[in-house]
Each structure stands twice: as structure tokens, then as C-alpha cells.
Amino acid sequence: GAVVSQHPSWVICKSGTSVKIECRSLDFQATTMFWYRQFPKQSLMLMATSNEGSKATYEQGVEKDKFLINHASLTLSTLTVTSAHPEDSSFYICSARDLAGMGETQYFGPGTRLLVL
């Protein structure tokens, strides 16, 4: 099946620093990628929809200047958490929709656990 990777798998950083998370579709092209965050024992919360070559669409309540998304190619989207604070600590998950398929199935990355001290 299709594979989506995320890097890094976990990161610990100091408050005020910026952290970049990469999401790659390894064996398919993805015009659309989605970024989620998940708090412990909760469901996924969609943060933004990332479209290749255009600006991301952010969900209500998600600060676009705080969570910068870049989808520069059909296989790579990045999420940068700028000036991270402890409340940004969370599990961040990306997913990608296969351009070639019917697009019904999203393939998920393994997630990135962020801890801001």
C-alpha cells in the first residue's frame, strides 16, 4: 500500500524555537495533504489542508502565522511550528491523498510527537 513518512518522529525543543515537520508521500503523488494534531486520548483535529502549489486552508481557530505550511511539491508538505510554546506540545499527524487513485483513501504518516519545554 501507499506509504507516507514523517520526519522527525519525535522532537523536544525549548520554548520560543521553531520546529519543522516533514510529510512525504513515498510512492505516490499527492496534490492534497492534511495536517492534524491529536491530544492524548482524543481524536484527530484537522488543522489545515495543504494543496500543492497554493496556500494552505486553515481550520477555524488555527493560527496560520503560528503553523506555517508549505506544499512545494507533489510529494512533500512541511509544517513549521513557529515560536513554539509548551501548549503546542502534541502529536502531529499528516495524511496524503493519492492523486492517481479515486482519492477516497487517505494515507497517514506515523506521526511526530512534539514536546516543548
Site for another protein in 32-61 (CB under 8 A): 32, 34, 41-46, 49, 59
Choices 64-72, 73-81, 82-90, 107-115; region in contact with another protein by CB under 8 A: 107-115
Contacts of 113 (CB under 8 A, 6+ apart): 9, 10, 11, 90, 91, 92
Q: Are 8 and 92 in contact (CB under 8 A)?
A: no
**Residue 81 in 3-state DSSP?**
strand
What is the nearest approach in angstroms of another protein to the Cβ of residue 46?
6
Choices 16-24, 64-72, 74-82, 106-114; region in contact with another protein by CB under 8 A: 106-114
Q: Are 115 and 11 in contact (CB under 8 A)?
A: yes
User: In sequence order, what are the beta bridge partners of 21?
Assistant: 79
Residues that bind another protein (CB under 8 A): 1, 6, 32, 34, 41-46, 49, 59, 91, 93, 95, 97, 103-111, 113
